[in-house]
Amino acid sequence: MKAHVIPTQKKGESYVLRNHETSQNLELTLLPEVQTAYDMFWNSAKIAPTSPFVGHRPYNPVTKTFGPYVFQTYEQVAERLTNLGAGIIRINQKALGQPEGPFARQFPVCIYSINRPEWAITERACFTQSLYTVSLYDTLGESSVEYILNHCESPIIFCSLDKISKLLSLADKLPLVRVIVSIDSFGEDQNKPDIPSPFNTNSVSVLKSWANSANIALYDIHQVELIGKKAPIPHCPPKPTDTYTICYTSGTTGNPKGALSTHESYTFVAKSIYQSTQLSTPPIMMSYLPLAHCYDRTVENYTTLCQGSIGYFTGDITRLVDDIQTLQPTLFPSVPRLLNRIYDRMVSATINAPGLTGIMARRATETKLNNLKAGKGNLHFLWDRLLFKKLQAVISKRLEFVITGSAPLDPKVLDFLRIALLCKFVEGFGMTETAGVSSVQTMNEFTSGNVGIPNPGVELKLIDVPEMNYYATDKPNPRGELCIRGLNLFKEYIKDEEKTRESFTEDGWFMTGDIAKFNDDGTTSIIDRKKNIFKLSQGEYIAPEKIENVLGKNSLVMQTFVYGDSLKNHLIGIVVPDPETFIPWASKLVNANPSQASLDDLTQNPIVVKEFLKQLDKTAAADKLQGFEKIKALYLETTPFDIETNSLLTPTMKLKRNESSITENFYFYTNILLQPRHVMAISTSNVFSLLGKGLKLTTAEDIKVYIEQINNIESLEKIILSGNTIGSEASAELAKILPEKIALKSVDFSDIFTGRLREDVKESVQVLCDALLDLPNLQTLNLSDNAFGPTGAESMYNFLASNRALKELYLNNNGLGIQGAKLIAAAFMERHTKHLNNVDGPSLEVLVMGRNRLENGSSEEISEMFSRLGSLKVVRLPQNGIRPEGISTILKGLSKNYNLEHLDLQDNTFVLPGSKALAEALPNWKKLTALNIGDCLLGKQGGALAIESLKHNLGLVELNLQYNEIEEDGALVLSSVLCNLDNLKVLELNGNKFNAESEAVESIRNALISNVNVLENDEDHGQTSKESQSNTSAFQQTNTTVQTSLNDSQTDKNLEPIIPKAGSPNTNVKDDLLSESRPSTPRKSSAADQLNSDIASLVDEMKNNLKL
């Protein structure tokens, strides 16, 4: 195990992971003299005073170019820090009207600028006087700036010259701001830099006059340093427990939260990384990721701790490659968004190149990837010299260490960049609340798809998330919400005790909101997101960020937004395509000239949109997304989501999902795609809906206004309260009026008890169900996603046993357990007995009880219930932990429901006994149109047996057989059965055990093609041309799905995009390389010549076109 395991006895929690280096004691013993961020710098200044610390590229206004990097040494910066720190105290005291003291300390200083040396100098100067910093993103709009400055109560702002006018325009709204300091020179000292273009002395005069009228003191940084030099103040270093910074989170759901962290936490993280890496030489770091975020700041702290050097980019991301190549860093922190770009460029110029260049590059890549997976490292004596050193030079010839974070990096991209960049390349996990890092891969790690092991001194564990069906007891690996404990944790969200309290468990673990699993080797993988989830109408939970990250891997995609509605059973997507890749691809589809094609025209072309959706389906299938996680409708938008123009992004480039003013932009698109529109549905006279309002209705008074609205609807047929939280008192008040609504047909009470105590929930369920008891027309009741457990089943017993009209019952994800399921079954059997002789007796048609841990203990009762009912058309029992004996018992009773149309038993265990029972039941279901038995482990014999019985179900439209360990013989049986399934439109076969090139697979393809040909040509069916086209399209989608599934069965799918496909010319690469040293007749350029040319073009292209 790569991590140390500490067992736990707590129910609902996993074991704890620690780093082996701190398995017994979480304290870090190295560098005991470094306890604060102040110590980090001054310790390094003492060790390496003449080493370069911070550098920039001076701009030449005559040539309009940036020169080479110019660095300030540690001792030079040390002098500036001392002077500037004293100067800050002096100008603040003057603004307070107390120039002689007493000196105020422990107050925040805001920094509002892009990354540059003055940013780092200002922050470290603050530490010399026990001040702390608040960082503002350079891209923030006025409203966010105003909110943060007032919220943190900062009296002083350091900013670039271009920000001063914005701040002064807000002066009336910033009553606490007393001083603004420009980190650009005002040009008043001949020994200091000139005023940056386009500003001049007149500009500065205007700003000074404006500031004076607003009663705000205005200085430049050099003036403040001079003040401190003339009136020095001894250092007043901070304590480890003092505030280091307030870092504002991105604010995807409203105003940003201010996470307050101490010196102890950030110092702990820097030392933890130092202990894990132990580089042989001080790093040279490229700083370009926003310093307002914890990520880059943490890497800069680590670099400072190592006596390293920090080179700052020139401020324009399009010049980043030129900056990197000028600096030649050894350390390069990055994010997937940029690394994906680099990967796309490199792949395009190498393994996807035509001719000998591509052949050689594919051979080299295959060899190195195989070595990487075999644990042989990422270096190769031949291929590195011929190819990969040239790729490394695109970034830096002396690159040693790359770290990626902020979002998952596609394993395929990570593996390729590891072998291409010839350096240590690790992926980590961290948050603002954890000082940037909590878990990271070790320096010798060559696996992908994980974020490594806990940092030294950090602990990780998982806790159950029942509403998403993640449990610490899951097999083969525990899954749940990732929780973190260690000195790296933040102290609080300032001025928000409630959110602070909600973020921690009682024993001090921080709950991240990310869903993770612990792998067998001790590493951790982030697999889902707890926050921002929503449900579809069938009760499936959707984590849109997870899907957006997957779709973002497609090279055609620049940005994505995934949306769903709990009244709909599918997702829609808004995608901003990447013009660089999209225009050539789309132009080819419509036979247009790429240089003349319009992005607007292409995105509105139906052919292009349809094909784009297919590309997204392939990307989703390659990442093994479930069918319900794939988008079914698509809108292509040409205007990118951004921070200021349309305010759809936070400064950290995250989508603002739930802010009311923001969602209107997205709903403009989603209303185009979702038909009928939800707004139209709730505006009808017989429907009342509070769907997703997030209301907290506890008392009778809370719900009074809504009861009045319900009373005003005379013939109420549908009521939707999903997505709110309702207490027992409010429930009782609502229950008083429900018996009067005799026209009521549908009630949606799903997800209405979040945060309520179990006894409160039990009372609410009781009074609400009793109120519905005698409604003569009530056909649908949805109580899904309420964690009421067996007591809830007890509360609804009388209703289920007595109501005669109910046809559809949704109890998905209620934690019913064995006892709850038994109660439900008993209630329906009593109901059946009561009305046995009635012609118009009960006829339950839809029963959904997924994710309820029904297991085998309730199978006898469920089977008997099914047998007595006999009327079921839709049954969904996915993810219930039912074993083969239970499945067999349940299917025996279910087989007597001869009108069954839809059956979902996904993610239960069949093996051979369950498969036999299914095979015996299938002939009874002549009307079956949808069968989902994915992830049921049918096995070799069971798979063939169940598939063979599908010949009785000729009406099948959807069939899910994925991840069932079906082998070749089962696939052959399937090919035979498919010849008779003329209506089949969706076939899922991912993750089974047959080879993509086998005879069975070819037979499946032929059978599907045969079906389409029959549908197109058989006039006896009376099929119109339009219907024929529809079926052809359906086949194309099905065939694409099958092809993707078969690709998943290949030996190593990570190699699939880059290994030459079957049938490629069998070129002897070795002979081709040797031929370059032989005398020969003139010929076309060799593979190496062509490769050198491609790499040179690659570098130039990346310089010109690389964008974040």
DSSP 184-207: S--S--TTSPPPPTT--HHHHHHH
Does residue 531 register a pLDDT over 60?
yes
How do residues 156-188 score in pLDDT, each as one tens digit? 999 999 999 999 999 999 999 999 999 999 887
Q: Using 50, 70 and 90 to split pLDDT, how confident is the model at 1056?
A: very low
**One-letter identity of residue 517:** K
> Which two three-digit tokens encode residue 842?
């009960």
Q: Which of 962, 943, 954 is nearest to 978 (CA)?
A: 954
- Which range has the worst mean pLDDT, 910-914, 931-935, 1093-1097? 1093-1097
Pairing of strands 687-689, 696-697: unpaired
In the predicted model, what is the mean pLDDT of residues 1061-1065? Answer: 30
Does residue 1062 register a pLDDT over 70?
no
Confidence (pLDDT) at 273: 93
In the predicted model, what is the mean pLDDT of residues 997-1019? Answer: 62
Q: Using 50, 70 and 90 to split pLDDT, how confident is the model at 559?
A: confident
> Which two three-digit tokens encode residue 773?
């008891």
How do residues 493-503 score in pLDDT, each as one tens digit? 999 999 999 99
User: 743 and 710 in contact (C-beta within 8 Å)?
Assistant: no
Neighbours of 599 (CB within 10 A): 14
Q: Rank 121-125, 252-256, 271-275 by mean pLDDT and report only the highest.
A: 121-125
Taken in order 1030, 1032, 1037, 1038, the sign of the CA dihedral is positive
**One-letter identity of residue 742:** I
How do residues 474-514 score in pLDDT, each as one tens digit? 999 999 999 999 999 999 999 999 999 999 999 999 999 89
Confidence (pLDDT) at 995: 74
d(CA 964, CA 947): 12
Does residue 268 register a pLDDT over 90?
yes
Where b means 16+ CB within 10 Å and e means fewer, 549-572 reads bbbbbbbbbbbbbbbbbbbbebbb
Question: What is the chain's Cα-based Rg?
Answer: 32
Does residue 833 register a pLDDT over 90?
no
Confidence (pLDDT) at 567: 55
Give residues with Cβ within 8 angstroms of 203, minimum separation 6: 195
> Which two three-digit tokens encode residue 1011?
């079906």
Domain residue spans of the chain: 1-27+463-531, 74-262, 534-673, 684-784
Q: Which of 291, 280, 292, 290 is nearest to 249 (CA)?
A: 292
d(CA 996, CA 841): 52
> Which two three-digit tokens encode residue 979?
């010849």
CATH superfamily of 1-27+463-531: Luciferase; Domain 3 (2.30.38.10)
d(CA 787, CA 780): 20
Q: Which of 23, 1045, 957 is nearest to 459 (CA)?
A: 23
d(CA 948, CA 996): 21
In the predicted model, what is the mean pLDDT of residues 523-536? Answer: 80
Pick the more confident residue, 643 or 743.
743
> Which two three-digit tokens encode residue 1041?
């799905």
Q: Using 50, 70 and 90 to split pLDDT, how confident is the model at 1022?
A: very low
User: 429 and 451 in contact (C-beta within 8 Å)?
Assistant: yes
Q: Using 50, 70 and 90 to split pLDDT, how confident is the model at 685?
A: low
Q: Percent of the chain scored above 70 by pLDDT?
A: 84
Give residues with Cβ within 8 angstroms of 172, minimum separation 6: 214
Does residue 658 register a pLDDT over 70?
no
Q: Rank 526-535, 838-847, 969-978, 1079-1088 by mean pLDDT and report only the highest.
A: 969-978
In the predicted model, what is the mean pLDDT of residues 72-83? Answer: 97
Does residue 730 register a pLDDT over 60?
yes
> Which two three-digit tokens encode residue 1033?
């399209």
User: 952 and 928 in contact (C-beta within 8 Å)?
Assistant: no
Neighbours of 1029 (CB within 10 A): 12
How do residues 850-902 score in pLDDT, each as one tens digit? 999 899 999 999 999 999 999 999 999 999 999 999 999 999 999 999 999 99
How do residues 755-806 score in pLDDT, each as one tens digit? 788 888 999 999 999 999 989 999 999 999 898 989 999 999 999 998 888 9
Confidence (pLDDT) at 288: 94
- Which range has the worst mean pLDDT, 452-466, 544-558, 983-997? 983-997
d(CA 619, CA 557): 11
Instruction: Please classify residue 324 by burial: count the beta carbons closer than 10 Å to its beta carbon, then call 0-12 exposed, 13-18 middle and 19+ buried.
Output: buried
> Which two three-digit tokens encode residue 463?
């806790």
> Which two three-digit tokens encode residue 77?
């910066």
Q: Which of 301, 285, 368 is nearest to 334 (CA)?
A: 285
Q: Which of 15, 179, 4 is nearest to 88 (CA)?
A: 179
DSSP string, 314-356: -S-GGGHHHHHHHH--SEEEE-HHHHHHHHHHHHHHTTT-SHH
Confidence (pLDDT) at 673: 52
**What mean pLDDT value characterizes the chain?**
84
Q: Which of 619, 480, 494, 477 is nearest to 562 (CA)?
A: 619
DSSP string, 427-458: EEE--GGGTT-SEE--TT----SS--EEPTT-
User: 421 and 399 in contact (C-beta within 8 Å)?
Assistant: yes
User: 761 and 729 in contact (C-beta within 8 Å)?
Assistant: no
Bridge partners for 1044 per DSSP: none
Confidence (pLDDT) at 1082: 38
How do residues 406-426 score in pLDDT, each as one tens digit? 878 888 999 999 999 999 999
In the predicted model, what is the mean pLDDT of residues 318-331? Answer: 93
d(CA 710, CA 699): 17
Confidence (pLDDT) at 659: 45
| Cis ω before 329 (30° cut-off from 0) | no
Q: Which of 737, 736, 796 is nearest to 761 (CA)?
A: 796
Which phi and psi (to 5°) does residue 990 adopt? -55, 145
Q: Using 50, 70 and 90 to split pLDDT, how confident is the model at 652?
A: low
How do residues 300-314 score in pLDDT, each as one tens digit? 999 999 999 999 999
Does residue 1106 register a pLDDT over 50?
no
In the predicted model, what is the mean pLDDT of residues 240-262? Answer: 84
Does residue 109 register a pLDDT over 90?
yes
Does residue 263 register a pLDDT over 60?
yes
CA 670 to chain centroid: 20
> What distances in angstroms separate CA 589 from CA 583, 607, 928, one per listed residue?
10, 8, 38
Give residues with Cβ within 8 angstroms of 241, minimum separation 6: 262, 263, 264
User: 222 and 183 in contact (C-beta within 8 Å)?
Assistant: no
Q: Which single residue is written with the structure tokens 């008779």?
A: 980
d(CA 824, CA 865): 9
Taken in order 560, 251, 439, 504, the sign of the CA dihedral is negative
CATH code assigned to 684-784: 3.80.10.10
d(CA 983, CA 958): 9
Confidence (pLDDT) at 623: 82
Confidence (pLDDT) at 669: 52
Pick the more confident residue, 1082 or 712.
712
DSSP at 283: -
Fold of 74-262: Rossmann fold (3.40.50)
d(CA 1, CA 3): 5
In the predicted model, what is the mean pLDDT of residues 227-237? Answer: 97
Does residue 596 register a pLDDT over 90?
no
Instruction: Please classify residue 228 by burial: count the beta carbons closer than 10 Å to its beta carbon, then call 0-12 exposed, 13-18 middle and 19+ buried.
Output: buried
Confidence (pLDDT) at 1013: 42
Does residue 683 register a pLDDT over 80?
no
| Cis ω before 198 (30° cut-off from 0) | yes
Three-state SS at 912: helix
DSSP at 753: B
**One-letter identity of residue 815:** G
H or E element that contains 780: strand 780-782
Pick the more confident residue, 121 or 61.
121
> Which two three-digit tokens encode residue 1032?
């052809």
Does residue 16 register a pLDDT over 50?
yes
Expressed in angstroms, the distance from the first to the final Cα of the chain is 37
CA 917 to chain centroid: 40
Does residue 939 register a pLDDT over 80?
yes
In the predicted model, what is the mean pLDDT of residues 817-822? Answer: 93
Q: Using 50, 70 and 90 to split pLDDT, how confident is the model at 1073?
A: very low
Confidence (pLDDT) at 1096: 53
Pairing of strands 331-334, 958-960: unpaired
Pick the CATH number of 534-673 from 1.10.1200.10, 2.60.40.10, 3.20.20.370, 3.30.300.30: 3.30.300.30
Give residues with Cβ within 8 angstroms of 786, minimum separation 6: 749, 750, 751, 752, 753, 761, 765, 792, 814
Pairing of strands 179-182, 217-220: parallel
Neighbours of 818 (CB within 10 A): 17
Q: What SS3 string covers 687-752?
A: EEECCCCCCEECCHHHHHHHHHHHHCCCCCCEEECCCCEECHHHHHHHHCCHHHCCCCCEEECCCC
Q: Using 50, 70 and 90 to split pLDDT, how confident is the model at 651?
A: low
Confidence (pLDDT) at 1058: 28
